[in-house]
Amino acid sequence: MSYNNNTVETRKNKHLTEKERYSIETLLKEKLTPAEIAKRLDRHPRTIEREIKRGMVRLLNSDLSYRKEYCADTAHRIYLENGKNKGRNLKIGNDHELAKHIEKRIVKDKYAPDAVIGEIKAKGMKFKTSICTKTLYNYIDQGVFVNITNKDLPVKKDKKKGQYRKVRIAHKNLKGTSIEERPKSIETREEYGHWEMDCVVGKRGGSGATLLVLSERKRREEIIIKIPNKTQESVIKALDALERKYGRKFKDKFKTITVDNGSEFLDYKGLERSVLNEKEQRVKIYYAHPYSSWERGTNENINKLIRRFIPKGTDIGKISKRKIKEIELWINNYPRRIFGYKSSNDLAA
C-alpha cells in the first residue's frame, strides 16, 4: 500500500489535533486498522500506532472482565501534560558538535563562556546553531551540559566598579620614580612597549619559587619567568636574562615598566641598569602608589588567568618551566573581548 509522500512531508513534525484523536477513536470502533486510519487522516502509520498506544486505557466490562480501548480524552490529556513537562526547546538542540566544542574550550582549555562564543564569531566557525553568551551561561546554570558546571567557570566578575581609595605616598620608596611622573601618553595605550610587572607567589612554606610576570599594556602580551625566590637579586637576574635574549631590540620592546612597592622591586638602579652596558639605562621603572592595584590593572587581570592553571596554595617549585611556557602561550592566544576576540598574538601578526 502506498502513501502520498507530498502530504506526509507537508505535515512533518505537526502534532495530532484533538479533533483527529476523536476521529481515531471513532475509526477504531469501526474496526479500521492503524494503517487504514493513517490513510484516512493523511498521517504516517507509525504516528497512529504511537498515538493508540498512548491513549489506551483499561476498562471494566459488565461481566467484571477488563478490555483495552483507545480513549481520545485520555490521549489528549497526556499530550498536554507532556507538553508542559517538556518545557521550552533548547536552541542548541541536537548540535552535538557545538556542545563538544564548548565543553572542550571551557573544561580542557579553561576558556570563559564569553571567550568561547566570541572566538566562534570572530573566526567565523560554522555550527548548526548559534547562541549568545547569556544563553550559554543559562544553559550551564540549568545543567544542560553533561561535563560543565559552574565550578568549571572562572569567578564571575562583579560589573560594579570599585571605589578607588585615596593614593598614598610610598614612604619606604622615596628614591624611585613615582607613577605620577610617568608620561600621560602611556595611559592611552597607543604605543607598544610599556609593561607592568608583578610577582605571583606560591605556597607558603613551599620551595619559595615565584613567577615574575610582565604584562604589556597595549596588546596584553604576557611574559612569565620562573624565579627561585621573591628577592631583588632574582628579579634583576630575570631582567638581565631578558635583555641578553633580545639584545639591541630590548629597548624597543621594553620602554617602561611599572611595578608596585614590594621589596623585590625596590632596587630601581639594578632594574634599570643594562647588563650589556652598565653605563646605559635599559628601561625606565615607575612605581605605583601603595595599595593602588588598579594602577597596574593589566597585571592584576592577567594574574587571574594564570590562577586558572596555578591556584593559590600551589608550590610553584613543582611546576616545570615547560608548563609555565604553555600557560604563557595560552594567555597570548586567548581571545579578548576588548580586541574583538582577537588574541595578543593575533595583534602582533
In a domain, 164, yes or no: no
SS3 breakdown of the chain: % helix, strand, coil, rounded to 5? 45, 15, 40
In a domain, 66, yes or no: yes
In this structure, is residue 75 part of a structural domain? yes
- The pLDDT of residue 163: 54
Which domain covers residue 106, as residue numbers? Answer: 96-152
Asked which of 28, 63, 86 is the last residue of a domain, the reply is 86
**Residue 144: pLDDT band with limits 50, 70, 90:** confident
Domain check: are 207 and 311 in the same one? yes
**198/303 same-domain check:** yes
pLDDT of residue 1: 40
The string of DSSP codes covering 171-234 is TT-SSSPBGGGS-GGGGGT-SS-EEEEEEEE--TTS---EEEEEEETTT--EEEEEESSSSHHH
Residue 168 in any domain: the answer is no
187/327 same-domain check? yes
For the stretch 159-209, pLDDT in tens is 555 555 555 555 465 688 999 999 999 999 999 999 999 999 998 888 889
Q: Are residues 100 and 72 in the same domain?
A: no
Rounded (5°) CA angle 241-222-248:
40
- With 60 as the cut, is the pLDDT of residue 5 above it? no
Q: Number of structural domains, the chain?
A: 3
pLDDT value at residue 300? 93
Q: Has this prediction a pTM greater than 0.85?
A: no
Can you give the pLDDT at residue 89?
A: 65
Q: 137 with 211, same domain? A: no
Say if residue 71 is in the same domain as residue 101.
Answer: no
Domain end call among 108, 137, 152: 152
Is residue 298 over pLDDT 80? Answer: yes
Residue 9 pLDDT > 50: no
The grid coordinates of residue 236 equal 634583576
